[in-house]
């Protein structure tokens, strides 16, 4: 049960990207070098330094132009594919109901990224860790709203008590339907048993670049069913492996240093 | 703005025209969304590009750049034809009933009003306005026809003037489909119903034209006809594009005004203080107090050196020579070697000025240049190889003074809604960066010292200046500046409560009468107040200070009918309480509350001598009614007036500068419009040095519609060259380069049967900083509006082609 969730009302998103900048600023994520490829959307991919971004999609159907924007990133699913895929149990649900990655346990196998139906998990090849939105857990436990929703000027991102947010979303969808948005809907209430990022969409999810029917991949479920009970053993094995690796590395470093000294 | 940001929540229909409010004023969307959420308000976006505001609008109206007057003229005609104007409002609160001189006329072929004559000094035309005057009776009273049926009354003249602005014609001019035009007109006109409020927001997409002032006038005319002025949720709302640019304007950053919107004295017309007062002071209206404000200003400038005997130092005040000294004209002077040195303060014209490439070249004619900015900008680096220059050939001495950013200094800022709010310092500035105030103070003290020691031409202008802003610690004391601006009694230095206390006899000093009252006590100065309103209509009278007199919505007398009953009782600003026999208010009243309502109803627009809103204004240089002129660089002739070219009153600064011949129109077939994106700011010097923003918007791009891109073989991300006549020199065509953004958000326009493509180019890039790119304004022409000389950035002609 999630106590507090975040509404992402895509119909109110103006694409100002204050959320995107706020995420980088609060989490001190470095900027990366990008290039202009024909869309306002940038960076192109989620990565260890990009946890959230505004996704832009444009359409011209029979002369009716649409420019759809929405903040996207980790949805914090109840039925979280990443958690099921993780072989070391590094991914878990916090007491706040959000999905987090334990950096110490993460071995960088990238199974989570492959399993994520939203494709929002990045990978840091320098630290060999999976990285994603933390829902600003550090802010939540200190009584603050996530950085993205704090920065949003229009009310597209609203953080609050789950029941209130759901009812707000339902009202909004009714209003949008009345205004002629026949495909308006809530997204994230039933999908993957509910997400902590609850969307109001004025059109079909695919048009926003979101999967129409996000699910935990079948393979991930099978894998989890077979592999789940063995996880403890794996953690021990992996732990041993890491320790051995570290020891070995130290030996190598020491040998290198000695070799360098000798050469001097 | 006549209204203010959070007043948008009261609007019934909001029209964003020539202003991409979601992109460039994101916080406005908070209030617009509130109006939509709470009262089902509608948002109309009128813009050549389907921009980020259009993306969340209820209705998008596409429009060829430079045709706003036509679009709004069509709206005026629609209002008049369908009798949708607010009749009681127009009758009582505007000059719609006034009779105009019989000789007033308009030439439908040339598109000019009566009184047109040559103006060789400006290489343009000008008007003799004799026929534009009100008819007056033997007592000097304006003749009126309350039925508004007299053929010479303003309303009837308007009907005649706008006869040609039919929806069919406007569609041919603007390229907007007829049904979309009609839908938008119909929707906005619902606010003509008494009690409804229509809000028109605009920015540089209205003003940056050779007919920019007429565009703004058109908005004012529409809002007066529909009774939207003075109303909560209504108004003419200019959204300012920079933090505190409102404050800069109030403080007279433009050459034609001195602080508080008083005209800069002209040497020929105003050789003495008496001449100025006689010619510049109207007999009625609030401006009849002008002499008090001018003398108080002179006292603030020259202190005890200003005495009745020396006209309070009026002779030291710089006078104009009758010529244009705006940005374009100043650079022309520079090109002719008439300017010795320049201080470029928080300005980067090498990127943001029109025909910027030429500007960089002219800068080399300066002996010295001082640049005050957060980073080394393009203007300060015009001599570097990065700018394409050869440093060996340039003798200009350049000084760069590093400035503190806004969060690194304290002080007052005025927002678009005229709210002046104190901003506290968040952190110390790095290194040697200093606040603008510190730099100004040190600079002036040094100048004064030099003039005292060495003399010079009219040294009194500097040496007689009252300049005492040092605090006990030797550092500049901002409170001393605030006191000067607020105004004080000369005798004892006590602060005046507000501008009502200002005097003509020299017993008061005030640096800006409009700001008077903003810092009228040291314990709890109004600009530092932060008390939100608990009940009311969102005026928040105890939050900061709004000029004038803490008034949140100007002309608020017009929000109630002549008897004092609010048009919209749900959000009343002022209302006459019959039982108590007095006015009650939610705002600071903009009228005399001590006279009966029917009396104050005669002059709801107190700043004007006639006291009533001007549907017809003889005070605009290029005509009393807004008239459709094409931009200087136009792809088509003027459909309404066959012999008209671009605004005939607009000064022609350079020969062979804009596209005129058919051959040139073929060479530069596409309409170019420049704009901003939310990720970058102005000339980009702040934001292009910020990695997080560079990551989002890494390169200069040019937006092209899919059809044009297919024709030219251009694909997304291709390198594209953009050419304009300004880059055609001595038979050689130069160009700038950008990445292609092929987008569904732009569509070709059908202009009178011809297909015309519009390309869009943001102007944030330059050759300095972390993220560099070509300067878009190398392409734009140095032509301007005849009232303000604001350059025509938003519509010009160009050619584009794929590179490589």
H-helix segments, B601-676: 662-667
Between the alpha carbon of residue B144 and those of residues B155, B162, B606, the distances in Å are 11, 21, 19
What would the pLDDT profile of B161-174 be if each residue is shown by its tens digit? 999 999 999 999 99
Residues from chain A that touch B678, judged by Cβ atoms under 8 A, are 15-17
Q: Is the peptide bond before B308 cis (omega within 30 degrees of 0)?
A: no
The answer, for A31 touching chain B at a CB cutoff of 8 Å, is yes
Q: Which chain B residues have a beta carbon less than 8 Å from that of A17?
A: 678-679, 696
Q: How far apart are CA B41 and CA B28, in angstroms?
A: 14
State the pLDDT at residue B783: 97
Find, in chain A, the residue whose alpha carbon is nearest to that of B748: A63
pLDDT band at A264 (very low <50, low <70, confident <90, very high): low
Using the predicted structure, report yes or no on whether residue A260 has a pLDDT greater than 80: no
The model's pLDDT over B402-411, given as tens digits with 9 standing for 90+, comes to 999 999 999 9
> Residue B460: phi, psi to the nearest 5?
-60, -30
Q: For strands B758-762 and B670-675, give the pairing.
A: parallel
- Mean pLDDT across the stretch B359-385? 96
B-facing residues of A in 54-83 (CB < 8 A) are 58-60, 63, 65-69
Structure tokens, B87:
């009749």
| Mean pLDDT to the nearest integer, B375-381 | 97
Segment B270-288 mean pLDDT? 96
Shortest Cα distance from A222 to chain B (angstroms)?
39
Q: Which residues of B694-710 are buried (b: 16+ CB within 10 A; e: fewer)?
A: bbbbbbbbbbbbbebbe
Which of these ranges, A117-126, A201-210, B498-507, has the smallest mean pLDDT? Answer: A117-126
For the cut 70, the answer to whether the pLDDT of residue A87 exceeds it is: yes
Interface contact flag, B678 A15, Cβ < 8 Å: yes
Q: What are φ and ψ of residue B67, in 5° steps? A: -120, 30
Residues of A in contact with B744 (CB under 8 A): 58-60, 65
CB contact under 8 A, A40 and B717: no
**Structure confidence at residue B241 (pLDDT):** 87
> Per this entry, what is the length of chain A?
264
Q: Are A2 and A196 in contact (CB under 8 A)?
A: yes
Which residues in B lie closer than 8 A to residue A16 (C-beta atoms)? Answer: 22-23, 26, 52, 678
Provide CB contacts within 8 A for A92, sequence distance 6+. Answer: A83, A99, A100, A102
The Cα B324–Cα B317 span in angstroms is 18
Q: Where are the beta strands (DSSP E) in A27-116?
A: 52-61, 64-73, 91-93, 99-101
Please tell me the distance from the alpha carbon of residue B604 to that of residue B735, in angstroms, as a whole number: 53
Residue of B nearest to A168 (CA): B37
Give B577 to chain A, closest Cα distance, Å: 38
* Of the partner residues A32, A40, A59, the one whose CB lies closest to the CB of residue B695: A32
Is the pLDDT reported for residue B32 higher than 90? yes
Q: Which of A15, A38, A175 sits opposite B740 (nearest CB)?
A: A38
Averaged confidence pLDDT in chain A: 92
State whether residue B302 sits within 8 Å of chain A by CB: no
Q: Which pLDDT band holds residue A124 (cuts at 50, 70, 90)?
A: confident
Distance of alpha carbon B50 from alpha carbon B746, whole angstroms = 6
Amino acid A263: pLDDT: 64
Q: Is A155 on the interface with B (CB under 8 A)?
A: yes
A21 touches chain B (CB under 8 A): yes
* A32 in contact with chain B, both atoms CB, cutoff 8 A: yes
Domains of chain B, first to last = 662-802 (2.40.40.20)
Contact B451, B463 (CB under 8 A): yes
B741 at A interface, C-beta within 8 A:
yes
Q: B395: which 2 tokens? A: 């003798």
Digit-coded pLDDT (tens) for B33-85: 999 999 999 999 999 999 999 999 999 999 999 999 999 999 999 999 999 99
Judged against a pLDDT cut of 90, whether residue A223 lies above it is answered with no
Q: B647 near B210, Cβ under 8 Å?
A: yes
Mean pLDDT of A153-171: 97
Residues of chain B in contact with residue A12, where contact means CB-CB under 8 angstroms, are: 29, 33, 56
User: Do residue A17 and residue B27 have CB atoms under 8 angstroms apart?
Assistant: no
Backbone dihedral angles phi then psi of residue B397, each to the nearest 5 degrees: -95, 125
**Percent of chain B with pLDDT strictly greater than 90:** 98
Give the model's pLDDT for residue A247. 75
Question: If pLDDT is split at 50, 70 and 90, which confidence band does A262 have?
Answer: low
Closest CA to B713 of B751, B678, B682, B740: B740
Contact A12 B22 (CB under 8 A): no
**Two tokens, residue B429:** 């500035």
Instruction: Give me B643's structure tokens.
Output: 């012999």
Residues of B in contact with A57 (CB under 8 A): none
Selecting from B37, B695, B747 the residue whose C-beta is nearest the C-beta of A42 gives B695
What's the pLDDT band for A246 if we cut at 50, 70, 90? confident
For chain B, the average pLDDT equals 97
pLDDT value at residue A1: 47
Average pLDDT of the segment spanning B722-736: 95
| Contact present, B785 and B212 (Cβ < 8 Å) | yes
Give the gap in angstroms from C-alpha B46 to the nearest C-alpha of chain A: 14
Complex ipTM, two decimals?
Answer: 0.94
Give dist(CA B229, CA B95) in Å, integer.
14
Q: Which of B33, B37, B679 sits opposite A17 (nearest CB)?
A: B679
Tell me the pLDDT tens digit for each residue of B690-711: 999 999 999 999 999 999 999 9
The residue-averaged pLDDT of B769-781 equals 97
Tell me how crowded residue B410 is: count the other CB atoms within 10 A of its CB: 14
Task: Say yes or no to pLDDT of A254 above 90.
Answer: no
Q: Is there a contact between B694 and A39 if contact means CB atoms under 8 Å apart?
A: no
Q: What is the pLDDT of residues B642-694, one digit of tens each?
A: 999 899 999 999 999 999 999 999 999 999 999 999 999 999 999 999 999 99
Question: What average pLDDT does the segment B594-618 reach?
Answer: 96
CA nearest to A88, candidates A247, A240, A248: A240
């Amino acid at each position: 049960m999630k106590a507090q969730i975040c509404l992402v009302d895509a119909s109110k998103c103006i694409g100002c990207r204050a959320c995107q900048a706020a995420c980088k600023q609060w989490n001190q994520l470095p900027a990366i070098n990008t290039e202009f490829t024909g869309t306002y959307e940038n960076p192109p991919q989620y990565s260890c330094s990009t946890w959230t971004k505004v996704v832009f999609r444009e359409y011209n159907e029979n002369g009716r132009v649409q420019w759809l924007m929405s903040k996207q990133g980790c949805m914090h699913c109840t039925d979280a594919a990443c958690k099921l895929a993780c072989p070391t149990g590094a991914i878990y649900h916090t007491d706040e109901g959000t999905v987090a990655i334990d950096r110490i346990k993460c071995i960088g196998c990238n199974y989570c990224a492959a399993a994520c139906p939203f494709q929002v998990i990045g990978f840091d090849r320098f630290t060999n860790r999976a990285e994603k939105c933390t829902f600003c857990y550090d802010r939540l436990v200190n009584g603050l709203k996530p950085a993205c929703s704090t920065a949003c000027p229009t009310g597209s991102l609203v953080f609050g008590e789950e029941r209130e947010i759901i009812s707000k979303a339902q009202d909004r969808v009714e209003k949008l339907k009345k205004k002629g948005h026949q495909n308006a809907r809530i997204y994230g209430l039933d999908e993957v048993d509910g997400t902590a990022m609850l969307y109001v969409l004025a059109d079909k999810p695919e048009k926003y670049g979101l999967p129409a029917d996000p699910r935990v991949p079948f393979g991930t479920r099978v894998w989890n069913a077979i592999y789940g009970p063995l996880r403890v053993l794996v953690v021990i094995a992996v732990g041993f492996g890491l320790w051995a690796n570290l020891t070995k590395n130290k030996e190598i470093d020491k040998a290198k240093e000695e070799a360098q000294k000798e050469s001097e | 703005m006549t209204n203010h940001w959070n007043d948008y929540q009261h609007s019934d229909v909001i029209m964003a025209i020539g202003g991409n409010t979601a992109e460039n004023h994101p916080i406005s969307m908070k209030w617009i969304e509130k109006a939509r959420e709470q009262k089902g308000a509608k948002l109309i976006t009128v813009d050549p590009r389907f921009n980020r505001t259009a993306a969340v609008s209820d209705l998008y109206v596409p429009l060829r750049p430079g045709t706003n007057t036509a679009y709004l003229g069509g709206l005026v005609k629609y209002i008049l034809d369908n009798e949708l104007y607010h009749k009681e409002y127009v009758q009582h609160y505007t000059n719609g009933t006034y009779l105009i001189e019989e000789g007033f006329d308009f030439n439908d072929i040339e598109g000019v009003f009566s009184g047109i004559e040559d103006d060789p000094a400006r290489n343009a035309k000008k008007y003799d306005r004799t026929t534009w005057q009100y008819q007056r009776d033997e007592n000097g009273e304006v003749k009126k026809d309350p039925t508004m049926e007299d053929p010479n009354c303003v309303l009837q003249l308007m009907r005649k003037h706008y006869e040609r602005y039919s929806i069919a014609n406007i569609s041919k001019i603007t390229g907007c489909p007829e049904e979309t035009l009609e839908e938008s007109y119909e929707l906005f006109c619902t606010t003509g119903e008494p009690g409804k409020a229509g809000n028109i927001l605009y920015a540089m997409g209205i003003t940056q034209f050779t007919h920019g002032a007429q565009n703004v006038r058109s908005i004012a005319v529409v809002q007066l006809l529909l009774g939207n002025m003075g109303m909560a949720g209504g108004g003419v709302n200019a959204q300012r594009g920079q933090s505190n640019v409102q404050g800069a304007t109030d403080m007279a950053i433009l050459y034609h005004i001195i602080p508080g919107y008083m005209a800069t004295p002209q040497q020929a017309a105003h050789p003495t203080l008496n001449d100025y007062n006689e010619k510049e002071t109207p007999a009625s209206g609030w401006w009849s107090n002008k002499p008090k404000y001018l003398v108080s200003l002179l006292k603030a400038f020259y202190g005890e050196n200003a005495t009745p005997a020396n006209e309070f130092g009026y002779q030291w005040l710089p006078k104009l020579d009758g010529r244009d000294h705006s940005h374009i004209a100043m650079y022309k002077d520079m090109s002719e070697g008439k300017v010795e040195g320049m201080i470029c303060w928080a300005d980067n014209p090498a990127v943001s000025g029109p025909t910027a490439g030429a500007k960089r070249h002219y800068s080399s004619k300066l002996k010295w240049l001082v640049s005050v900015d957060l980073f080394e900008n393009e203007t300060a680096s015009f001599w570097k190889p990065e700018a394409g220059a050869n440093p060996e050939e340039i003798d200009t001495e350049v000084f760069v003074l590093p400035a503190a950013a806004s969060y690194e200094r304290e002080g007052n800022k005025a927002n678009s809604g005229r709210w002046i709010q104190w901003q506290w310092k968040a952190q110390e500035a790095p290194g040697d960066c200093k606040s603008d105030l510190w730099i100004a103070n040190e600079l002036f003290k040094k100048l004064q010292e030099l003039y005292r020691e060495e003399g010079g031409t009219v040294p009194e202008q500097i040496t007689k200046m009252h300049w005492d802003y040092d605090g006990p610690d030797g550092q500049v004391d901002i409170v001393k500046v605030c006191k000067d601006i607020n105004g004080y009694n000369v005798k004892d230095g006590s602060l005046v409560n507000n501008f009502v206390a200002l005097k003509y006899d020299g017993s008061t000093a005030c640096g800006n009468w409009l700001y008077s009252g903003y810092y009228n006590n040291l314990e709890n100065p109004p600009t530092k107040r932060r008390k939100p309103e608990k009940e009311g209509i969102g005026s928040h009278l105890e939050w900061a200070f709004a000029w004038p007199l803490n008034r949140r919505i100007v002309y608020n007398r017009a929000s109630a009918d002549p008897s004092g009953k609010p048009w919209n009782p749900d959000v009343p600003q002022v209302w006459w309480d019959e039982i108590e026999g007095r006015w009650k208010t939610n705002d600071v009243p903009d009228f005399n509350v001590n006279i009966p309502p029917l009396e104050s109803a005669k002059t709801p627009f107190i700043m004007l001598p006639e006291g009533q809103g001007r549907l017809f204004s003889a005070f605009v240089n290029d005509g009393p009614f807004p008239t459709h002129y094409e931009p200087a660089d136009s792809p088509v002739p003027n459909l309404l007036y066959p012999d008209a070219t671009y605004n005939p009153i607009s000064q022609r600064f350079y020969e062979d500068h804009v596209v005129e011949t058919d051959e040139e129109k073929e060479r530069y077939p596409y309409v170019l419009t420049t704009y901003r994106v939310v990720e970058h700011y102005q000339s980009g010097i702040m934001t292009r040095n910020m990695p997080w923003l560079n990551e989002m918007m890494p390169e200069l791009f040019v937006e092209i519609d899919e059809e044009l891109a297919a024709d030219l073989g251009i694909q997304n991300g291709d390198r594209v060259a953009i050419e304009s006549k300004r880059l055609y020199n001595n038979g050689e065509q130069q160009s700038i380069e950008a990445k292609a953004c092929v987008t569904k958000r732009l569509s070709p326009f059908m202009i009178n049967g011809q297909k015309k493509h519009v390309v869009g180019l943001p102007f944030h890039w330059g050759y300095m900083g972390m993220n560099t790119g070509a300067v878009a304004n190398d392409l734009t022409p140095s032509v301007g509006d005849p009232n303000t000389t604001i350059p025509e950035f938003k519509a010009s002609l160009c050619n584009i082609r794929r590179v490589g």
